[in-house]
Amino acid sequence: MNILVLNGSPLRKGTVAKLLKGIANGIDEKNTVEWIDIYDLKMRPCIACMKCRPDEECVLPEDDAHIIGRKIKDAGGLIVGTPTHWGNMSAQLKLLFDRNVPVFMGEKPNGFPIPRQKGKPAVIVTACTTSWPFNFIAAESRGAVKAVREVLHYGGYKILGKIVKPGTKSKPQISQKLLNKAKVIGGRF
């Protein structure tokens, strides 16, 4: 199976990237892993034209959002990582998801959503500077996980696990326990 890793962090060697690599390290060698750094992509913003709904691709002129959308569609599994920005996913990751709504879901004539990635496995990774337990009380990392989960839910993905690293400002190091968890989750693919 081809597993696509979406690094929604602008930091290629940051906490989110390290946790994503920890998951990838746990994935069995019979699978292939493809890494995408979202902040390297050139994407126009969604214009809310709704013309993509009957199709499976955005109608804007071809850019990296189309290319990654096709990769998401073809991938057997997805690992999504994002830093927490104002209790949500990063702007670039949100932009990629906005541009690829029809990759994740279709609609029946009555507007009822149809998942287009039904049953595919996925993992969510997030990190935030807010320390525990305030990252969940204030809905910081909880908000980011919820936002990514919402996209994956409408796509029909089966969530294999999530990893949350709070307090990166005061404790930037990643514990061995969390890295072990990442490897175990990777082994679920």
Write out pLDDT tens, residues 148-167: 999 999 999 999 999 999 98
Q: Domain 2-186 carries which CATH code?
A: 3.40.50.360
Domain boundaries, the chain: 2-186
Tell me: the pLDDT tens digits for 83-110?
Answer: 999 889 999 999 999 999 999 998 888 8
- The amino acid present at 152, given as its one-letter code, is L
In the chain, count of helices (H) and strands (E)? 7, 7
Task: Measure the CA–CA gap between 157 and 154, rounded to whole angstroms.
Answer: 8
Task: Measure the CA–CA gap between 98 and 69, rounded to whole angstroms.
Answer: 11
Give the DSSP H/E element, type plus range, for residue 78.
strand 77-83
Tell me: the pLDDT tens digits for 28-86?
Answer: 999 999 999 999 999 999 999 888 877 778 889 999 999 999 999 999 999 999 999 98
